[in-house]
Amino acid sequence: MATISTIKNLTGLALGLMVLVACDEASVIPEAPVRAIKPFYVAELAGGTIRSFNGTVASSGTSTLSFSVGGTINSIDVNAGDQVKSGQILATLDNAPYQLDVDAAKSQQNASKANLETQKSDLKRQKDLYERGWVAKVVYDQALLSYESAKEDLNYNQSKLSGANRNLSRTELSAPYDGVIATRTAEPFTEVTAGNPIFEINAKGALEVIMSVPDSLISKISIGLPVKVTSDQVANCGCQGRITEIGSIASAANAVTVKATLNAPPADLLPGVSTSVFVPMAISTDTDGYLLPLNAIAASGDSGEGYVFKFDQSSGTVSKVSIKGRAGRDNMIQITEGIAAGDIIAAAGVSFLRDGQKVKLLGQ
């Protein structure tokens, strides 16, 4: 039978193990969920107004694809609207004529190699005879000239073979990058010449909006200005972008072409879609800050001062930023210091955020 002492020892050991397990469980702290914040994109000028313009979506990376050699189209493997990968074969030419050129060039190269070996052997023999005084120097010089000529002939035929192989490889037309086929202008079994357009390809994900702005308003916008883009044709299009190009010449309608590149456009937004582009425009050169919703601001002790939480897309965190402002309009505050156009600000729930906190945008 176990002694009372043994029972006490076993009981103490069991209690100790239970304490250790409890400590281990307590040390495992569950990872806090990533809070979603409602974003507000800083755009509206406190001293300006928002103007809307009609725009059209276009690819900001567009290339025209063509064969660099001519011939008969053997196959076309994609149609307009198809998505393609970099290096994917899109179309081919009948390569039989170019294969014949390669075969002929190989034959000429082989003949040149054989002739070079013959001339090399003859040069060696004539050199031995000349050094022994059995042939005249002119005979040795002629053998040396024939050898050098054979080397040049081989180099020439090797270049011809390289060119023939290059032309043969050009009978395949491939995609230069991931994208979408915008247009197709050729059909199989038709003759094309070098440079004839076969496809137009739009780079995947690289979209911009093109709009016409009256020349009287051009002075009120600038490169880098944030814009908002919506489309009745695409349900989830509430895109943000920035103006990247302003034309220098007005058209016959006294309008200037302006382009804005889109940030992370939705997958179903395609080139050719009509949009409305909302552009913040300054009334004067003194914009006097930007407007923020009241709910995005936490007040501090001093009048006219407070702070907001600015979202950093690269790190997925928010940082606490001090601001200064004054009363604005329509529940908006006029912020004169601390924010800039294009900043993404947490629009609500600032009391639940802390500096450096990991967050995500609502809907992501």
Q: How far apart are CA 247 and CA 213, in angstroms?
A: 10
Report domain extents, the chain: 32-47+286-364, 48-60+206-283, 62-94+171-203, 96-169
CA dihedral of 8, 14, 19, 24, whole degrees rounded to 10? 160
Which of 31-35, 43-47, 114-118, 282-286 has the highest mean predicted lDDT (pLDDT)? 114-118
Please write the tens of the pLDDT for every residue from 76-88. Answer: 999 998 989 999 9
Please write the tens of the pLDDT for every residue from 225-248. Answer: 888 888 888 766 667 888 989 988
- For the domain 96-169, what is the CATH code? 1.10.287.470
Please write the tens of the pLDDT for every residue from 112-151. Answer: 999 999 999 999 999 999 999 898 999 999 999 999 999 9
Q: How confident is the model at residue 7 (pLDDT cuts 50, 70, 90)?
A: very low
What pLDDT is attached to residue 292? 81
Residue 309: CB atoms within 10 A of its CB come to 25
Average pLDDT over residues 108-113: 96
Could you confirm whether domain 32-47+286-364 is CATH 2.40.420.20? yes
What pLDDT is attached to residue 139? 93
Q: How far apart are CA 313 and CA 41, in angstroms?
A: 12
Please give the structure tokens belonging to residue 275.
């949009």
What pLDDT is attached to residue 28? 52
Closest CA relative to residue 98, chosen from 66, 75, 68, 71 = 71
Number of residues that this document lists for the chain: 364
- For the domain 48-60+206-283, what is the CATH code? 2.40.30.170
Please write the tens of the pLDDT for every residue from 286-334. Answer: 456 777 888 888 877 666 688 899 998 888 899 999 888 776 666 777 7
DSSP annotation string for 101-148: HHHHHHHHHHHHHHHHHHHHHHHHHHHHHHHTTSS-HHHHHHHHHHHH
What pLDDT is attached to residue 71? 96
CA dihedral of 327, 328, 332, 333, whole degrees rounded to 10? -50
What pLDDT is attached to residue 296? 83
Fold of 62-94+171-203: OB fold (Dihydrolipoamide Acetyltransferase, E2P) (2.40.50)
The reply to whether the predicted model has a pTM over 0.85 is no
Average pLDDT over residues 268-291: 75
Domain 48-60+206-283 matches domain 62-94+171-203 at the CATH topology level: no
Rounded to 5°, the CA angle 35-39-44 comes to 160
Average pLDDT over residues 17-23: 51
Q: What percent of the chain has pLDDT over 90?
A: 43
